[in-house]
Amino acid sequence: MSMEKSQGQKESGPSDYCNAISLLKNNPPEQRLDIPLSYSQYLELEESWTNIKYPYLSYNSLLHVATVVTVPRDLHEVAAAELRREIMNSIEAYLSIHKPDAIGTVVDRVFKFNSMDFGPSVVVAMEVGSSETYAGLCHDKDLWLDGCHVKVCILVCFKESPRFHSPSSLYEKIVFTAEVENMSRLANECMQSCYGPITYRNHRWLGVLKEGFIEVWRDNGSVRYPLIKEEKAADIPDGDIPINGAVFMKHMETAIIATAVGRYFDFISQPS
């Protein structure tokens, strides 16, 4: 299949391309950009990128779309780590009984299990989104299932309402250490009853996490398991993912606080 732009494919504007280069060079947290590009344009864009974990750059040759994802906050990373740990423990427990000769490996977002007798492998992919839209996660899921032929793709999504934006003007007379300590203390107090909002200096640094869920996708459909229900941790029934929702969300509380404090820290660290 040719990787050049198909007839009728929408071109990206100069501003989109410049935004992509800026994201790759500066790596501001919690950003995602999908832009239509021909493969030759993508190769030019790739020259601005150092092949590291973040910012992440990929290309969908079926849709002729380049995707840039910048470094995520703790909310994303802790969710991924906790889910990865739960899945690995469950799979290893299952394999120890049913197929003790299987070999399991984890590479970033992918779990791969091969049989010692060189039988078929099982590949499971995982995508976590907090700043990303659900549509963006589904786009990544389709790439795994259709483009990479994985058997299962697991999505973890938290929806923050309203979405975060920085203040329009810098603060004056900031005592850096004291500010971060005050912000951290207030954030901990806000998390005693629900998952947000976290407000400090009359600005919302974290919206309310009213919805969080895990979706397990296969080629024949999906199943959704809520993580948050009525602003509380939800119980996940026994099924594809044996996860204690309350314990999972307890681990997430520290990450939620760190996300709000990290946003504030980055803001007051800007040069005046």
Question: pLDDT tens-digit profile of 198-212?
Answer: 888 889 998 888 888
> In this structure, are 94 and 62 located in the same domain?
no
Owning domain of residue 119: 74-164+204-268
Q: What is the pLDDT of residue 109?
A: 61
In a domain, 191, yes or no: no
Residues 222 and 93 in one domain: yes
**Does residue 227 share a domain with residue 98?**
yes
Q: Is the pLDDT of residue 119 over 60?
A: no
Single-letter amino acid, residue 229: K
CA distance 90 to 243: 9
Question: Kind of pairing, strands 122-129 and 152-161?
Answer: parallel
Please tell me whether residues 152 and 212 are part of one structural domain: yes
In a domain, 2, yes or no: no
In terms of domains, do 219 and 93 share one?
yes
Question: pLDDT per residue over 178-199, tens digit each?
Answer: 888 888 888 888 776 678 888 8
pLDDT of residue 113: 58
pLDDT of residue 59: 84
Instruction: Please give the pLDDT value at position 161.
Output: 86
251 plus 142 within the same structural domain: yes
Q: How far is CA 244 from the centre of its chain?
A: 20
User: Is residue 260 in a domain?
Assistant: yes
Is there a domain that residue 175 lies in? no
Statement to judge: residues 62 and 150 lie in one domain: no
In this prediction the pTM is 0.66
**Number of domains forming the structure of the chain:** 2
- What's the CA gap between 149 and 94, in Å, rounded? 23
The whole-number average pLDDT for the span 112-125 is 58
Chain segment 123-144, per-residue pLDDT in tens: 777 778 765 678 888 888 887 8
Could you tell me if 49 and 142 lie in one domain? no
Q: Kindly report the average pLDDT of the chain as a whole number.
A: 76
Residue 173 maps to a domain = no
Last residue of a domain, one of 42, 69, 96: 69
Model pLDDT for residues 21-63, shown as the tens digit of each residue: 889 888 888 888 888 998 888 888 888 787 777 888 888 777 7
As a whole number of angstroms, the distance between CA 11 and CA 13 comes to 6
Q: How many C-alpha atoms does 93 have within 13 Å on its Cβ side?
A: 8
Is 87 inside any structural domain? yes
Share of the chain above pLDDT 70, in %: 75
- Spatial distance between the Cα atoms of 68 and 84, rounded to a whole number of angstroms: 23
Residue 114 and residue 63 share a domain: no
At 8, the pLDDT band (50, 70, 90 cuts) reads very low
Q: Is residue 82 part of a domain?
A: yes
Q: Please check whether residue 106 lies inside any domain of the structure.
A: yes
Last residue of a domain, one of 26, 50, 69: 69
Clarify whether residues 95 and 147 are in a common domain: yes
Q: Are residues 144 and 94 in the same domain?
A: yes
Residue 114 has pLDDT above 50, yes or no: yes
Same domain, 132 and 237: yes
pLDDT band at residue 77, thresholds of 50, 70 and 90? confident
